[in-house]
Amino acid sequence: MSVSRTSIYAALWLPRFQLQAALRAWPDTPRGPLAVLDSDLTQSPAEAEKKGHVLHANPQAERAGIAAGMTPSQALARCHGLILRHRHPEEEMRAHADLLRCASHWTPHYESTAPGLCVMEVSRVRNMRGRLEASGANMRQWLAQCGLQAQVGFAGNLDMACLAARAATDVLVLQEQEKEGSETTLLHQLPLAVLQPSANVTEVLQLWGIRTLAELIKLPRADIAARLGMEGATLWDMAAGGRERLLRLVRPEVAYREVMELEYPVESLEPLLFLLRRMLDSLCGRLAEAWLVACEEKLTLKFENDEVHERSIQLAEPTRHAELLLRVLHTHLDGLTTASPIRVVTLELTASAPDARQSQLFQRGLRNPNRFAETLTQLEALLGAGNVGRPILLPSRRPGAFVLKNQVEVEAPVPALLSKDDTPLPEESITHGLPLRWRRPPCQITVQMNGGLPAAMLIPEGRLEIVQTNPCNLLSGDWWDRHAWQREIWEVAASNGALYQIAREKQGWVLDGMFG
């Protein structure tokens, strides 16, 4: 493989990545044989001993016979002075962030290939072509200042750059040879381990006598794929020169956030709304330039007494209209009372892609979802949290089992499909009884029994004699958990001529409602 005159890729690789991160987390670790386990700090020592395995070992431990995949007991039996450390996920994230930060110093065109591995496209970096080794040394020096040991590889495509980094001692450049296509090129002399095959495939290739990339590509690709499957075909492709693909570029996340420290504290709503409108105009302009919309607003107010008020408001429909966003904030601030003036105002918008939806032919959507959501918010402020919404029936036979779902868009009902054997009943055979007007919530009552039948009841309207009863209905459900319930339902006729439905539950008698 030769480096193209138009494409140069550099790969930064941190060997024994998890081990290096653990050493950064515990810098006072004694020198000597050291290994890192694939268990993290959240696991107990007994669990780590049972489930953990050696992930990486330093050169001293490897010379003592420590290899990846060993259990802690096996590793300690091989090397009595071995020091074991757990993985440190937080430090691994910080180390990988330092790796990406190093790449960003050289070019904006880089990708986060894998933990501890980063690939850059450096063809357009000034004065890079004739100074690849020196540039690689500078990259290693930059990472060394962060406490990381890196290997750098340069090649003409991404896969080859990664292989060069894994095969390098410090910096390795795969470039054109005097005899193009010769089997003695540096690429073909690389050991098979740079491809990082699985243990099973490695064992098979060793039995075949395959030790280098040149020996692997001498075998027919079709035969390799037939015997080793997809992994074998992928290894052969990488050994033959790698695959051409585009970089998955890393782009820093843009924060749509405005912070305003006030010279004079704000004590009323009108000047605060004026400041919020200015901040929204700026943020919405930035959203429009990126062809994005806001799906959430986060408002933070810091007062003179150091108290902080935070509120995240989910928008019913993503938008970048400053007037609509301000109206949502205005609705929230109307009911806010503060003990001291406002000193700092912070407003942050969560960006998202515009929502492109196509409605059904006979389905009508809301004309203004944000206005409807604002109305729901005002109703909830009057009636209390959780008391406004659309009732959604729960999958239970318990009467009145529902939840309130405070959502704007009404989901289209799914039509019930009849099988070929099912035929709808004729309307003549369907009888309609009196409707039951439920009391929400059911009220507690007192019932007097006579001979196992309700004889009288005391309801909020007064005492009523029961003149007639229908046989009771027994309902129960959820008997398998702590929410088990059972009801004894009676339909009764009272002395005042009204028909009632009463029920006996575990807590006592309740009045469900009145018929008619």
Instruction: Kindly report, residue by residue over 467-483, the tens digit of the pLDDT.
Output: 898 888 888 887 777 77
Asked whether residue 360 carries a pLDDT value surpassing 80, the answer given is no
Q: Are residues 184 and 158 in the same domain?
A: no
Question: Tokens 């180390």 identify what position?
Answer: 95
pLDDT attached to residue 17: 92
CATH code, domain carrying 328: 3.30.1490.100
Q: Is the pLDDT of residue 100 over 60?
A: yes
pTM assigned to the model: 0.55
Dihedral of the alpha carbons of 225, 227, 230, 233, in degrees to the nearest 10: -40
Res 356: pLDDT: 58
Domains contained in the chain, number? 5
Separation of alpha carbons 49 and 506, rounded Å = 50
Residue-wise pLDDT for 157-189, tens only, equals 888 888 889 888 899 888 654 334 443 466 677
Percent of the chain whose predicted confidence (pLDDT) is above 90? 26
Least confident interval from 135-149, 209-223, 280-294, 424-438:
424-438
Residue 285 shares a structural domain with residue 304? yes
| pLDDT band at 339; cut points 50, 70, 90 | confident
Calculate Rg over the CA atoms of the chain.
36
Asked whether the predicted pLDDT for residue 346 surpasses 90, the reply is yes
CA-nearest of 193, 327, 181, 295 to 241 is 181
- Asked if residue 207 is part of any domain, the answer here is yes
Tell which residue, 440, 1, 478, has the closest CA to residue 238.
1
Report d(CA 157, CA 10) in Å as an integer: 9
CA 32 to mean position of chain CA atoms: 40
**Residue 234 within a domain:** yes
How many other CB atoms are found less than 10 A from the CB of residue 471?
7
Burial bucket for residue 120 (CB in 10 Å: 0-12, 13-18, 19+) = buried
Residue 424 lies in a domain: no
CATH at residue 198: 1.10.150
Residue 360 lies in a domain: no
> CA-CA distance, 159 to 400, in Å (whole number)?
62
Chain length of the chain: 516
Residues 261, 138: one domain?
Answer: no
Using CA atoms, how far apart are residues 381 and 337, in angstroms rounded to an integer?
14
Question: Hey, CA dihedral for 280, 282, 288, 294, is it positive or negative?
Answer: negative
Pair 313, 296: CB distance under 8 Å:
yes
Q: Is residue 442 part of a domain?
A: yes
Domain boundary among 193, 212, 240: 240
Candidates 9, 365, 27; CA nearest to 174 is: 9
In a domain, 362, yes or no: no
Local confidence band at 316 (pLDDT 50, 70, 90 cut-offs): confident
Q: Determine contact, residues 322/330, Cβ cutoff 8 Å.
A: no
Q: Which of 153, 172, 191 is the endpoint of a domain? A: 172
List the domain range (segments joined by +) for residue 296: 256-352
Report the pLDDT averaged over residues 414-435: 58
Domain match, 36 and 167 both = yes
Checking if the pLDDT of 244 tops 90, the result is: no
What is the average pLDDT across 225-239?
Answer: 87
The answer to whether residues 279 and 303 belong to one domain is: yes
**pLDDT surpasses 60 at 420:** no
Mean pLDDT for all residues in the chain: 83
The encoded tokens of residue 515 equal: 């018929």
Asked if residue 58 and residue 107 are part of one domain, the reply reads: yes
Distance CA 171, CA 217 (A): 25
Q: Is the pLDDT of residue 297 over 70?
A: yes
CA 153 to chain centre: 33
For residue 83, give the CATH number of its domain: 3.40.1170.60
Find all residues with CB under 8 Å of 423, minimum gap 6, and list them: none
> Residue 474, exposed/middle/buried by CB under 10 A (0-12, 13-18, 19+)?
exposed
- Kindly state whether residues 293 and 330 are assigned to the same domain: yes
Q: Are residues 225 and 304 in the same domain?
A: no
Alpha-carbon distance 123 to 105, whole Å?
15
Q: Kindly tell me if the per-residue pLDDT of 416 is higher than 50.
A: no
Give CA–CA dist 92/84, Å, rounded. 17
Q: What is the C-alpha separation between 111 and 90, in angstroms, rounded?
A: 20
H-run or E-run covering 507: none
Averaged pLDDT for residues 318-323? 90
Has residue 428 been placed in a domain?
Answer: no
- Residue ending a domain, among 148, 172, 196, is 172
194 and 282 assigned to the same domain: no
Residue 300 CA to residue 279 CA, distance in Å, equals: 13
Q: Is 363 within a domain?
A: no
Lowest mean pLDDT among 44-53, 87-96, 236-245, 387-396: 44-53
Asked if pLDDT for residue 152 goes beyond 60, the answer is: yes
Tokens of residue 86, six digits: 């757990």
Q: Clarify whether residues 153 and 45 are in a common domain.
A: yes
Is the sign of the CA dihedral 488, 511, 430, 417 positive or negative?
negative
pLDDT reported for residue 428:
59
Same domain for 186 and 159? no
Give the model's confidence band at 11: pLDDT under 50 very low, under 70 low, under 90 confident, else very high.
very high
Least confident of 2-11, 58-67, 235-244: 2-11
117 Cβ neighbours under 8 A, 6+ residues apart: 11, 12, 13, 14, 162, 165
Whether residues 459 and 333 fall in one domain = no
- Quick one: which of 148, 125, 156 has its CA closest to 4? 156
Mean predicted confidence (pLDDT) in 311-324: 88
Q: How far apart are CA 95 and CA 18, in angstroms?
A: 9
